[in-house]
Structure 1
């Protein structure tokens, strides 16, 4: 309850003393709330705003980096945190600002490029759906962006692990760890088109009978092939960034977090364990994960 009380007073300060717009105030409050969520994920429930150390702030940005949030977005969140702890300092609630020595905007390791939502759409729109490969490639990109899969997870997707009736994929991630990942309606639509009109017409090699995405020879696609497909489509779309399949994973996470999604939900969908303590891994129910996609993913929000 201490965090809620401080946030309520912080909101009053931003409204009355700094006269910020409603949007700016909400953005600041979201930034602080994300940090509060992180402390819960890290098992630091007893850390109140008064007890926050610079190591907690650093750990938070390492966590955001691992989730795929680009440095510019991290910089904006840091601004929100700095405003919050500056307020606590002005009110003599704390004696030292834990954000004082945190550098901005280059926090953590350098991340690959992240695509904006309009750039994602440009890539999707240049795909030639009149060809078998185009139909397959549209399904591939929709899945990558809809579910934030690693390229290795995409090429190993199995027909028997797709549960479109409940909107989920069963994914075998690193270390053979299994997770359920929501899949959006657009991705389901294009995968079903591919399966019905393209894959069903192919002669499939025995070892690939359960794999979803196949090459022209009826065998499963390779990781290298996915890289080549994406680079070719980005060039056709006039996007001059160094992108890869992982770019879609980073974009998936970034767009959800920037939209206000719960950090724990994004963490679970990406298949990441807690950065600080691997034994503290919050498992969330399917309905909550699915609602996160519905509420915060650009491919879902546009239909509301």
Structure 2
């Protein structure tokens, strides 16, 4: 079996877009855009599953990610995970750049399991998170000069938030630690503390430190919904932003090793709906026509 075909079979986790912490192409997104976003999600999900596979060597992961990239660009054999995205990109005249950058992040995951400082972590987010927002914006025809910067801040915040929520699991299952070594040292924490049932005071302090920095990123990204021309996308991003703020604030007081940080589904939906409605209510006051 070829490396490309392997990506569609043995490495898949079974996780889908409905299992993610934040909405992926929810029904707020116009139906004409959802197929492209879901094709992008499924492609990068295949890459993420390779990077997180416990039984593959780093070298094997890199080879499989390279095959997945070649399937998208046409430099190698076809892959069932790449074909739908390849069709969507061709139909819209979009390049494969954002998807390929995410594969670069997965290659980092295959080779690297520790981060020295905040800047190094944000560099990882540049490839692991920011391309997702940029792709969605490009699909909607938004102006990069108006929206990329604030989108990048929100996407980086979502990535760090996910890292903090999953910090114990990532350490136990993958020996992967995204909390920067500099932050751990600053608060007298050690990597091994991530394997305990409850976070120590030192580790809690490190997590709060990163949560506060994440709230700063979310504040940078706060103007994004009002800069977006597509009304439905504006509502979607407003909902995601509100949920991220509340979850990040939760990490200031909750222990992700022993407590649930997520809200229940009903509360999740209520919060998202309120934020989306707020974004809709602001549309007449944006100063430019909305799609």
Q: If the length of structure 2 is used for normalisation, what is the TM-score?
A: 0.26
Q: Which has the larger helix fraction? A: 2
Larger Rg: 1
Q: If the length of structure 1 is used for normalisation, what is the TM-score?
A: 0.26
Greater relative contact order (Cα < 8 A, sep 6+)? 1
